[in-house]
Structure formats: structure tokens, C-alpha cells
Amino acid sequence: MAVDPHDMGDGAEDQREGILVGCGNPLLDISASVPMDFLKKYEMNEDDAILAEERHMPIYRELVDGFQAEFLAGGSVQNSLRIAQWILGQPKVAVFFGCVGEDEYADILMEKARSAGLDVHYQIKKDVPTGTCAVLITGTHRSLCANLAAANNFTIDHLDQPHNKTLVENALYYYISGFFLTVNPPSIMQVAATALAKQRPFLMNLSAPFISQFYMAPLLAVMPYVDIIFGNEAEAHAFATAQGWPTEDLREIGKRLVALDKLNPARPRIAILTQGCDPVLLIQRDSVEEFPVTRLAVHEIVDTNGAGDAFVGGFLSQFVQGKSLDVCIRCGNYAAGHIIKNPGCTYTGEPQFVE
């Protein structure tokens, strides 16, 4: 039996301010087209998504000094919420928590987020710079190297401040990335527990293969709270490998994700797995559905960075309105297709999604 998202949230109050809360790593993307030699120099592969180590630290200055770099608002959850706000067309539906420094990069991020209609509540650390992410574009591929910096310093006491605590408790939907597991698992668990106590949907993303490879313990700790889990094929395969599951079939992996322990069995888990230009899989307890993706011509593809974030943003924009899962996924596909035609996770014009 398919689960209707109307049963997972309160559609009657759609689009009031603050119904969607997200926590993540606010990063300023430094994006540039680079030759393959540049990737090799920093021991990176096409489509990598990694955390910066000491050997990667010169990469950010080198991008600015040696290439035509663009500065774009980034960070997975913040991207998704900006896209949701763009499609909803009503400010402050979404609230975002994350940590930045007290510097020019933080000012740029704040301006970009607020101009998108996002209600931003940054924790500010004066002695640490705002996080950055190198986005290395090689043809239609993009490789990410994130220096979390201030984003890594988020602490749970920020969520415990009275105003922020009220924002979390008043939300109807919650979305957190797997990336945030590297920063502050207690904050994730607190938000997840709030969602469970209030019987409200908690959505999460596998985010990158390295999360399953190196942060499986905190990921498994939060998984019983997760009502909807997003991921792409590489992330799903990494999770399966880390779990020792004897399959590479994405449908089977999705069924196993759905079947993992859950604290609220009355709301069965849903897995939504993307496969680039192949169909999106909607996996529920007793069904697997496919949703086709409109293929773009090579010349239309500007930058695949942010396509996954945009998919979630499109999905969320409909989900918080109580729309059916098929409408949510089709809007996710629309948003991802739009973002691919633009640099970074940016959009142009008014949204054109039609149910």
C-alpha cells in the first residue's frame, strides 16, 4: 500500500512561515572549469565529493588566482532550501541552521540565502573562517572538495537558544543532510527526536559515499527516525557495501534501506534514489516505482553540481504543500533539470513547474 504524504505532515497549514527546518553546512562554493591535470595534482577523481585534507588547502587560493572562479552560495541543505523557496515563491517558509565565520564570505552567503527567501539563523564563530567548497568542473563532471572550517563548529546549544528552539518545535517538516553527521550528530538526534515526538516527517540524505564509508555509526543511529531517505546510485551502493549487503541491484538496496529498523512503524520508511539521467526510483515497503528523467542534450548541460540538492529542493517544495509523492518527485526532476543548465546550484527566471 502506497503511503500518502498527507498522512506524514499537516497539509492544512501549508506554506505558513517556518514549516520546514533544515540543518547543514553553509559553504561558499568557489567554482571553476579546470583541466584533468588539476584534479590529479590534488589526487582527486571526477565526481568526487570529499572533505579537504591538509594537501588540499592551497586549492581554494589557486582557483581564485589561476582560473575564472565564480563565488556561489553552497552547502547541500542550504541549496535545497533555496530551491524550495524559489519554487514556493513565498519567503521564510524554510528555516536554516548552520555555522559560519564573521567574514566577507559569511556576508555573501547570508545575502544569497535571504535574497532567495530563506530564513537563516547562522551560528557565528568569530575566530574561524566561513567554510568553502572547491567545485572543479571538467566537462560535464564536477568534483567537490569541502573545507568546512566554521561549518564544522556548529554546536547543539545554538538549537537550544529560546528563539531557535521555538522555530524547531513549530516546524512541520525536517530535513538534514548526511554531511551534517561529520559535524554534530547530537544536533541531528535532537531534531530527529523532536520530529518523532510530534509525529512529523524527518527527511535525510545519504549525501556522499564517504558518509557511509566513514560515518556509518552515527548514520545508523539516526536511521530509525528517518521517514524519507534520499540518495543517488553511488551513495546507495556505498551504503550497501558498508553494510555487507550481497547485492548491487539498486532496487534491492532500496528495499533493504526501507526495511531497516524504524521507531515509528506506523509511518513506513520511503527511499528515493536518483540515477542521473536514468529513472528515479520510489521505493516503499511493497512497491518500486520509476519516474523518468528528461534527458538533456550535451550542449544544454552547464554544471551538474547541485543537481541532487535541487532535486530535494523541488521535492520539498511540493511535499510541504501536502502534494502526492509522484508530484513531489516530478518537481524534483524539474528542479534538477533546470539547475543543470546553470552554474552551481543557481536558477534563472520564474519556476515553470506544472503539476
What is the set of active-site residues? 309
Which amino acid does the sequence have at 71?
F
The cell numbers describing 5, all together, are: 504524504
Q: Which residues pair with 124 in a beta bridge?
A: 100
Q: Which residues pair with 272 in a beta bridge?
A: 230, 282
SS3 113: helix
Contacts by residues 252-261 (CB-CB < 8 Å, ≥ 24 positions apart): 254/281, 254/283, 254/288, 255/283, 255/288, 257/229, 257/231, 257/283, 258/283, 258/284, 258/285, 259/285, 260/220, 260/223, 260/224, 261/223, 261/224
The cell numbers describing 268, all together, are: 513506513
Q: Which residues pair with 141 in a beta bridge?
A: 138
Helix (H) or strand (E) holding 32: strand 27-33
| Spatial separation of the C-alpha atoms in residues 69 and 33, rounded to whole Å | 8
Radius of gyration in angstroms for the set of CA atoms belonging to the chain, rounded to a whole number:
19
SS3 273: strand
Spell out the alpha helix ranges (H) of the chain.
Answer: 36-41, 59-66, 76-88, 104-115, 157-160, 162-170, 185-197, 209-214, 216-222, 233-243, 250-259, 307-319, 325-340
Locate cell 492544512: which residue? 12
